[in-house]
């Protein structure tokens, strides 16, 4: 998959911006704060419906504007599509080929993965971030995932509301049953995807972090394996009522990564966390390609930060071998880009504008 062009209006510091990208490497160079990351963020929004940066959606809007809009032309193995997302007066709208659609449908048509300075949180951050990472991959291989996930979330909200109200067992039972009926297939989908993700990730982790020994990836479903989720919810109903929320279920799922010589994530340096997170992102790219016959667009934001030269060379080798279209940012072009086997198209980013360099 390739992002052929990108049009931005009212997003952060950009009043308006039109860009055309090339296959292979596209390097955005400029000073800190010039807007390089915002360009990657725009591509990511078309694929995820949200930013990879913290903050509310209102923070995305340029000061003085009523909203923002992003339009991207994506080409894939079967067709070319125009995708759009806009936020106007607090409302988010999505379009595919000019037709209004849902965010879920928009996300099916664009695959953009991003590795950025905060990606180390994939290991050291909350379980919510790891679930979100996992679920993006599941969404693209399991056609029933979104419907099942929405059904589960509705049941979870209803059950939690009743728990806070001190509802009786009879009032809780239908929602416990619904939570079990939707939660078990949700867990099954996640297990299947995580098994494939682990197979893709292990050789990448060994290549990027050989000094840490054999990697080990483990998935935790958030409830007991081999026991009906409904039975577990009933058994814990008293405790759930005391706490005011459901303490077991797929909403508590998580996954972990350990190494032979680093048994806990606290044993990893920041640079090692970033390398491990990069391996997971690239493993997800490989899983997407295996299922769709094409690599997703890969965004690399300030990839050289906190990674030494030897490991950075390995990162560039892995990224180059992927065959993906890459949008990368840097404050300047470094010698490591000479390792890239294909041409590198360069753009100079200044406050509110971008100039392609010959």
Tokens of 189: 């989908």
Report the predicted TM-score, pTM, of the whole model to 2 decimal places: 0.93
User: 178-232: per-residue pLDDT in tens?
Assistant: 999 999 999 999 999 999 999 999 999 999 999 999 999 999 999 998 899 999 9
User: CA-to-CA distance for 62 and 136, rounded, in angstroms?
Assistant: 28
Neighbours of 164 (CB within 10 A): 12
- CA distances in angstroms from 142 to 154, 286, 329, listed in the order given: 20, 16, 32
Residue 347's pLDDT is what? 94
**Architecture of the domain spanning 1-111+296-358:** 3-Layer(aba) Sandwich (3.40)
Terminal CA-to-CA distance of the chain, rounded, Å? 25
pLDDT band at 334 (very low <50, low <70, confident <90, very high): confident
pLDDT band at 237 (very low <50, low <70, confident <90, very high): very high
User: 242-299: per-residue pLDDT in tens?
Assistant: 999 999 999 999 999 999 988 777 778 888 999 999 999 999 999 999 999 999 999 9
For 129-269, CATH gives 1.20.1050.90
3-state secondary structure of 109: coil
Q: What are phi and psi of 256, to 5 degrees?
A: -140, 160
CA dihedral (182, 49, 57, 30) positive or negative: positive
Domain boundaries, the chain: 1-111+296-358, 129-269
CA dihedral (64, 84, 1, 143) positive or negative: positive
- Measured at the CA of 257, the angle between CA 251 and CA 259, to 5 degrees, comes to 165
């Amino acid at each position: 998959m390739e992002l052929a062009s990108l049009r931005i209006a009212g997003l952060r510091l950009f009043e308006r911006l039109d860009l055309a990208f090339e296959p292979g490497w596209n390097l955005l160079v400029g000073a800190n704060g010039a807007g390089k990351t915002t360009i990657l963020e725009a591509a990511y929004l078309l694929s995820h419906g949200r930013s990879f940066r913290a903050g509310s959606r209102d923070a995305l809007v340029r000061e003085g504007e009523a909203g923002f809009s992003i339009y991207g032309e994506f080409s894939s193995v079967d067709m070319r599509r125009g995708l759009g997302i806009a936020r106007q007066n607090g409302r988010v709208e999505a379009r595919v080929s000019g037709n209004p659609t849902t965010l879920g449908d928009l996300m099916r048509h664009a695959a953009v993965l991003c590795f950025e300075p905060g990606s180390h949180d994939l290991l050291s951050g909350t379980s919510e971030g790891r679930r979100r990472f996992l679920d993006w991959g599941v969404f693209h291989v399991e056609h029933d995932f979104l419907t099942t996930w929405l059904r589960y979330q509705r049941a979870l909200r209803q059950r939690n509301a009743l728990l806070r109200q001190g509802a009786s067992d009879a009032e809780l039972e239908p929602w416990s049953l619904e939570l079990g009926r939707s939660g078990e297939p949700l867990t099954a989908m996640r297990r299947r995807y995580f098994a494939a993700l682990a197979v893709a990730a292990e050789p990448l982790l060994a290549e990027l972090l050989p000094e840490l020994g054999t990697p080990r990836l483990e998935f935790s479903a958030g409830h007991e394996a081999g026991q009906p989720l409904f039975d577990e919810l009933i058994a814990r109903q008293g405790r759930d009522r005391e706490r005011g929320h459901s303490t077991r279920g797929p909403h508590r799922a998580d996954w972990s990564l350990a190494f032979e010589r680093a048994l806990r994530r606290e044993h990893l340096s920041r640079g090692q966390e970033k390398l491990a997170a990069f391996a997971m992102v690239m493993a997800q790219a490989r899983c997407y390609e295996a299922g769709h016959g094409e690599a997703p667009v890969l965004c690399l934001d300030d990839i050289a930060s906190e990674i030494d030269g030897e490991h950075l060379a390995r990162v560039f080798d892995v990224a180059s071998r992927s065959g993906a279209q890459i949008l990368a940012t840097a404050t300047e072009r470094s010698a490591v880009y000479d390792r890239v086997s294909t041409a590198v198209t360069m753009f100079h980013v200044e406050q509110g504008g971008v100039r392609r360099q010959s």
